[in-house]
Structure formats: structure tokens, C-alpha cells
Structure 1
């Protein structure tokens, strides 16, 4: 009998020990109740899905505060993504009622308090995307569970308007644009005001994102509207200086959309667009995805943020003083441009067909066209310096990928790191290159065996997929994931990726205006993975040689 009593007492003790949960949480809009899940003997997690951070947005208007609700809001289901094109671009999905966020809160034996907070902004070319990401066997790409559990941080993911409804702009006060950026900003402000009730520290918020999300993060650090709302930021494969991140001539595309939906292109255009069916508007915002070396895909991404004099009061490169106190970590994947190259120069993906040197020249000519022949000659000599007299098929293909990786992602990211470090007062700067090879590269797939890390390859590791779907990965992939979660969450806690409770494989030195050090992230890291002056020759070409060449006045 005594034994039974002891066992019963132990059972009660374990149940109380593992019953740490927030229960019903009070927020500014009302009470919310999430789901409590058990992760282990002394670990639980509260998950809240679909909390509104703003009211349903008015068309082409900034978001407004949510009026609130009565009773307890059951926050247990993801809400619709914002209205957007489907993947085939022949229909739409989602809803205009989409300004919701999701929260993951980890607990040990007692309820957490004062945890660091990480707010995720998804990518998708400002055209598509959702706060839960792609779904595989009910395992959503952007589930915050692994990061929150392993790193002991709160993770928040948010929805924001994309496509025509998020970024269409007439370039003036009629339709100023940047609605999707204002949505992100409203969500960040909501987190700052409410996260304490969920056990988070409002004075230790990190925003992070990838691709268009990385560029969005960069813009959130540069806008004057975010003072004091977050402390740190991480941009993966995208910054405000990327050639696709700012549309310099939004009026042209707005007129194209207006003509497609039978609106005038004069002073009545904005009023007409506001009254047009949102699905029709979204379909009209489709982009041409056909491309060639002469008209690269990067120039087709025109539904993007604009310098509106409000959210972005000036060109991004002039706004880095606003990020002086923000710790900033940014980097790219070593073959980020491959996804674009496969469309622009399809022969790069063929194991058997040569990529003509002529295609290399055509691609460079279109990327340097404002400088004419001089731009092309300088670019060509920069990229073929190590070719020798008879470059191999693989060398030429890799060069094409390197050109687009540099132009679209790497050079702008390096420029942003230089500007951040040069303007920083208390903010620290960190640079990385992610080089874990793509899992599909090989003889039997459409991708070449030499393929490094393609665009978006980093996401699965940051979100811990090798742990949640272990059968799809090798042990080395779990190593990469462990390293990235450690660096990312340490940085979120302390502003230093090396310190914060999780051990890391290699010390990651800060990037300074004199040192330019970076970390290469890979499964088998040792101190040989710390480098300096990443792609110095190409950075020098694009940031100083190329801009100093004279512009051509006419063809």
C-alpha cells in the first residue's frame, strides 16, 4: 500500500511539474486561449494560432488597431494567408481578412517569464507567402516549435499583405504603397505592447526573415517608425539594397494593372482601383516569369516596396543611421542566385549541354546595360579572371550562378553590412555565408551535382526540420540545424551569436568596418570556416568600379 501511495504521489508531482501553461491570456483586444502541448518530462509549450494584431485592412490603407472581442478567443487554428496568386498564377488563394499572428511559448517546470522574442517575416517576392509556410504532412515550414523549444525563446510568425493589395503604388499620395510593410510594423508594435502577457520581454525582440522577408526586416530597421520596438534583426538572403527590393518606377506597373482591370490611367485611377474586385486586382498583379539572358527574371519583380516619403523617407542607403542601435546579422546562401539562373540560362542545369560563353556575356550585358560596352567588358574580365584559356563546362556554369548570386543577393548584403557597421553606435554587425549543399543536387535529379546552397535552402535548418521530419535527413543535416538554431537564438538573447546558453561549433567574430570577417555555415565547421573580405574582387567591382564608370547617354 505504501508503494502505491509513493507512486501516486510521484504521478501527481510529475503532472504538476509538466503542467506549466499560461492558460487564458489577457491581451489588449481581449482574452485568448491557445493549446498546451507536452514536449518531454519537464517541457511544455503553449501555441497560439490566429490572434488578430490589427483589424481587417481597408483596401490600399494602413492597418488599424483591432476593435477587440468579447469572451475568450480560441486561438487554435492558423488563419487564411493574405489574398495572393496561387503557385501556377492562374487563380488566387487566401483572404483579405489576414492580419493575424501565431505565438510559440516554451515552458520548463514553471511558467516562463521575460523570454527573448523572435518575430518571423516570411519571403515570397512580396507576391506570395504565409505565416505558416509550406505544409508537408501537417508539418508547416514556419512552425516555431523547434526554435522555441531548443533556444528557449518565444517565436512569433505574422501575416502581411502581398501582391497588388500589399504593394501596388501610383508613386504619389493617391496610392502610396508599402501596405505590407505597414502590416509588419503593426504586428511588431503589437508584439511590443502585448508579449509580456505571454511571458516575453518586450525590450528584447529580434525580427528575422528570408528573401523578401529579409529585405522587409532590413527596411523595418531603416524606417524611423520603429524606434524602440525591437533590438536586433536578422536578414537571410535579402536586404533593402537588393535590386528587386525597391521599385523605382511604381507608376508604370500601376498603369499596367489599371489597364488590365479596365480602370483609367489618369487622376481617377486610384479611386477606380480601390473599387475593383480584390481577386481581379490580385490576378492583374501577376508578373511575367519568362526570362532569358537578355531580360533576367530579377527585373520582373516589380510589386515591391517604394520610397514613399513616409515609411521610407529616403533611399534605403541613406537611412542606416536609424539602425545605429540595432544588432544586425545578415548573410546569403553561396548559390542563392541559382533559382534565377535556372530560368534565365536554363542550360546551367543540364549535366550534358554546354552553357555558351555568349550567354555569360548576354547576361552580364543586361545587368550592366546602363554603362554599355565599358560595363560589360569590366564585368566580364572580373568574372573570367581565373578561367584560364579553356574553362571547363562546370566552371562556366558555376560562373553564371555566381554572377546572379552576387548581383541579386551577395553584393547588396555586403553593402548593407558595411553601411550598418559604419553607422553603428551600440549595434553589432555579423556576416555569414551558408554553404551546406542542396540536398537535391546529384546525378538523378534536375539539379547539377556541384550545386551549393540554393535560395531558401537555409529555411529548413533554421526551423529545425531535420528534427521534426528525421527520415528526410542525414545526421549532418541535424548538425547544421543545431548550429543555426544555436547561433540565431544566442544572438536573439544577447546580440552575440556565440553567447546565450547554446554551444556553437566555431566562434563567430563580429563584422567591423576594418575587419570584414564572416562565418561560413556548414555541417562540418571548424575555425577554417571563419573568413575575411567575402568575394572581395566582385564586391569591389560592383560597389566601386562599376558605379564610377560613365553612364551611356544613348544606345
Structure 2
């Protein structure tokens, strides 16, 4: 009997040794220290499942600490091995209440997630994420709750077998202040994004990535940034595919039409002259003061909507953006492109302008909707504003319900700020495409915030938690149906990064997503109940026609 026990123990020990050897071999499938153009970098490797590992590098510099109101320049490099294990500070910006400043001017760093099996990965597709935040806020790691960062790339990388990169770019005054001439041409934040994409293209092969298969994706101002990057001639040959979520270059807030006027306001606030010495003074002024001076006026109303206060944004500089965005789509002719919005993207803005929208006990007045119509239409005058009001209230009848009035305000802001410009970008990309494919989606998974109205759909930024797989990382905070949504989005997004077709790749999808122009301008309705009825066409065509044709036919009002 002891002999039998000894044999069994030896057999079990053999199994343990075999498993240890297998795991040891698998664990050896790690990059270790990686050579980059600036020097060696060492990240962390950890297990994410059976024989699946993740190499993570945080805080790799992709450019030198930037000069004030100047383009980024290459990093001079470092000796030894750089420990790339912690996120670096975000670029200097206002805090959420716009009362103070957080971050640093030394902020041009990126983060990389590399999935590994039991051999080291090679030639993987690369997905580079650009964060939103109205060109005023944000960071490559995103919002953080108990060390759970929103833009952690692990779930996308692991589930889609792609490399994920996030990075910081300058925002606010230091990223987008422009005098409208050569003194301070602006677009520093866009140049930072370009520098990060270029660095990835030059260095990602050493991390196991394919430099010829880079997909850039972003949300809100990040979605508009993605669009600017594919339109700019500066990125020729660097980007293969793109995804814009709730933001394109054609959005009314995406281009600053009066940059000098805003630069003068900032200069006055910090005590700088407004003549030829303005830029030199801004460059030597305390960066916190310059950042604070670029705050947004948050006192809004139906007649002064917040979207018209977002002045610090990209400019047509004749360099990075040589012309109006709508004239540059030929530069994206060979780039596969997904563009989409959330069905109530405008909700967060509408509730700032008309607070009663979220209050079930308070009615929203018809006068507020009328004032909002006129305010959103002010570039074309009072007559256009009345036409907008009539277009959106045509189905109200004589006694519209309170819910109908509130929903109309949300629809109007959604259409004007996000949906119509996104549709216009889809048409332009599709019309100019050569080899590039075009896909459209509408995200309709209802908001998870309990205080919202019962008719509420997907608010602005609601899609991000699903794309970054939060229902998997924090399962107690979500229902199984929400894990389905995350699974669908990661599958479509990473298949697209692999092949240029969201239906084809290593992940199965619930329904085939047709190309936008295949027949009748089709789009995919993304939510937890996906089936063949999720493929629809002609998204809000009547309102798209109104804004792009009828509204656009009213004469422009000259600003004083």
C-alpha cells in the first residue's frame, strides 16, 4: 500500500511539474525589455487567463517635454532601461469644476497592452485610442475609480488579440490656443496625436505589432480628432483604418472659427498685451494661469447653449489642416472607416441648457424648445431658427406631452451636435472612397443612470464602458445582457482592426453589418437585443436633409 501511495504521489508530482513547465514556458512568452528609438523600456507581464498573458507598458515618452505653444519634437532618449510601469501625469488642464488646474506640461507619454499566448505575439493589428473631453480635458488612462481606469486596454487586447495603445495630448489653452497666424498657429494637440501615431508606426514592430495595420479610434473630441488625423496629409501612409464614435471634423464644435478673438480673451485674463508681444508673454506666463484663463462658461440656457461655448478647438491652419475638413476626404479614400453616434448623444448637453429635462416633477416649456431652436440656428438667423422649430415640432399636435417636449430638445441637440455631421462625414467618406470601406452604426443601449427619464436611450460617452469591456472587469456592476453588448462591440471593433471588415476576424458577431453604401445607406443598431432586424437604413433622413440642405440654404449671418 505505501508503495502504491508513493507511486500515486510521484505521478501527481509529475503532473505538477509538467503544468509548472507549461506555465513557465507560457509565462516566458513575455517581451521583457524592448528596444525603442529612445532606448530600452521594461513593462510588466501578468496572467489574464489560462495560458494567456498581457505585457503592459505605461508611461513611454513619444516626444520630448513640449515647448509652450509649439509643435512636439522627438525625445532625446535615455540611458539604461526605462521602467514603464506607471501612468504619467495628464497634460495640464482644468479640473472638472474648472476651479483649479491638474496635470503637467511634461505629459507626452503613451501606454501599450500586448496580448501573449504561449509564444510571443508577432504582426498583431494595432488599435490606437484618442480620448475625448471637448479638447479641454482627458488623459490616456481615462477616469479612475479604485484603480480601475476607463481606458485600460486589457479587455480589448485580450479578447480581440490586438495591441492597444493610449496616449496623452495637450488640451485647453496649451493645446489649442491660436492667434490665427504664424505667431501661434494652434493645433498643438493634433500635432501631439500625430507624433504618437508616428511613434507607434516606427516602433510597434518591436512590441509584436504590424506597423502597416494601425487603426485609430476615439470618442467625442477624440472621434473628431480621428477624423482630423485621417484627413490631414501629414498622416499619409500611417493609418490603415479609423473609428469615430460620437464626433467628426464636421461637428459645429470641432473647428474654432475665431481663434484670435479667443486668444485675446485669454491674454487679457492673464495680463498679457494683445499686440505683437502677446504670444511671447503667454509663453513666459505661469502655465496654470494660462490654462485657467481658457475655461468654459458653464452658465448656459436654452438661448445660450453650451455647445456654443466650446471655443478651444482645432483651427484651419493651412498646415496640419490645409483646408476645410469637408474638402479633404480624398485623403481618406483608402482608409476603412466606421462612424457612428449614440441615439441620445445630445442629452448631456440638453440637460445643461434645459435642466428640467431630467426632472420628472418639472415640465419643460415649449418656449424653451423654441429658444433652443433659434439659438442652435443662429449662424443662419432668426428665420432659420423658426424653420428648425417647425421641423422638430411638426408631429406634436395641439397638446404635446411633457415627455414629447423633453425628447424633442434632446433629439435636436443630438442631431445638430453629433448625428447630422456624422452622417455628412459618412456620405463624404463613402463618395470619395477607393479601396476604403465605410460602416455606420447607432448605439442604443439605454443609459445605466437610474435618475434618468424612462424614455432615455444612450447618452454621450455611454458606449465607452462597453468598448473597453467594463462589464467583464467589474462584473458585479453589470447585468449579463450588458456583457453581451461589450462582447458585441469588442468583436466588431477588433475584427475591423484585423481585416477592415467588422464581420470578419477572430471573433464571431451576432449579425452581419453591411457596408454603408451597399444599398440604401445601411447602419447597425447596436444594443443587447441584436438580430437581423438590427440592420436598418436611412438614419433620420428627413432631419439630415433638413440640416444639410434646407437649413444650409439660409444665408449665413455675419458675426460682428
Look up the match of 1:491.
496
2:375 to 366, 380, 394: 366
Distance 2:92 2:422 in 1: 30
Deviations 1:435-483 (A, max 9, x none): 0000014xxx2x2121110011000000000000011111111000000
1:509 to 500, 514, 520: 514
Look up the match of 2:3.
none
Look up the match of 2:110.
101
1:252 to 257, 261, 270: 261
Look up the match of 2:215.
206
Distance 2:331 2:22 in 1: 51
Look up the match of 1:74.
83
Distance 2:55 2:437 in 1: 32
Matched, 1:549 2:554: yes
SS in 1 for 2:517: coil
Look up the match of 1:239.
248
Q: Give how far 1:169 is off.
A: 0.4
| 1:33-52 matched pairs, under 5 angstroms | 33-52=42-61
| 1:433-472 matched pairs, under 5 angstroms | 433-441=442-450, 445=451, 447-472=452-477
Deviations 1:139-185 (A, max 9, x none): 10000000000000000000000011000000100000000000000
Distance 2:22 2:456 in 1: 53
SS in 1 for 2:47: strand
Q: Give how far 1:352 is off.
A: 1.8
Distance 1:231 1:30 in 2: 27
- Does the 8 A contact of 1:422 with 1:513 survive in 2? no
- Does the 8 A contact of 1:294 with 1:363 survive in 2? yes
Distance 2:81 2:386 in 1: 66
Distance 2:226 2:198 in 1: 14
Matched, 1:481 2:486: yes
Q: Where does structure 2 lack aligned partners over 5 or more consecutive residues?
A: 1-6
Moved over 4 A (4+): 551-555
2:101 to 92, 95, 98: 92
2:152 to 143, 147, 166: 143
Deviations 1:44-98 (A, max 9, x none): 0100000000000011110000111100001001000001111111111111110
| 1:124-273 matched pairs, under 5 angstroms | 124-273=133-282
Deviations 1:253-276 (A, max 9, x none): 100000001011111111111111
Q: Give how far 1:408 is off.
A: 0.3
Distance 2:274 2:443 in 1: 45
Distance 2:559 2:248 in 1: 31
Distance 2:405 2:66 in 1: 49
SS in 2 for 1:15: helix
| 1:10-49 matched pairs, under 5 angstroms | 10-49=19-58
Distance 2:230 2:559 in 1: 38
SS in 2 for 1:49: strand
Q: Give how far 1:396 is off.
A: 0.8
2:395 to 382, 386, 389: 386
Distance 2:481 2:162 in 1: 24
Look up the match of 1:7.
16
Distance 2:487 2:512 in 1: 15
Relative to structure 1, the CA distance from residue 157 to residue 552 in structure 2 (aligned partners, 3 Å threshold; closer, same or farther) is closer
SS in 1 for 2:262: helix
Q: Give how far 1:553 is off.
A: 7.2
SS in 1 for 2:492: helix
Distance 1:372 1:23 in 2: 62
Look up the match of 1:414.
423
Matched, 1:289 2:294: no
Deviations 1:120-153 (A, max 9, x none): 0000110010100011121100000000000000
Q: Give how far 1:381 is off.
A: 2.1
Distance 2:228 2:478 in 1: 34
Distance 1:484 1:551 in 2: 40
- Does the 8 A contact of 1:418 with 1:513 survive in 2? no
TM-score by length of 1: 0.98
Matched, 1:83 2:96: no
| 1:388-407 matched pairs, under 5 angstroms | 388-407=397-416
Distance 1:281 1:22 in 2: 42
Relative to structure 1, the CA distance from residue 77 to residue 296 in structure 2 (aligned partners, 3 Å threshold; closer, same or farther) is same
Distance 1:290 1:315 in 2: 31
Q: Give how far 1:516 is off.
A: 1.0
- Does the 8 A contact of 1:461 with 1:481 survive in 2? yes
Distance 1:6 1:178 in 2: 60
- Does the 8 A contact of 1:105 with 1:154 survive in 2? yes
SS in 2 for 1:488: helix
Distance 2:499 2:235 in 1: 20
Deviates more, 1:141-150 or 1:385-394: 385-394
Distance 1:135 1:116 in 2: 27
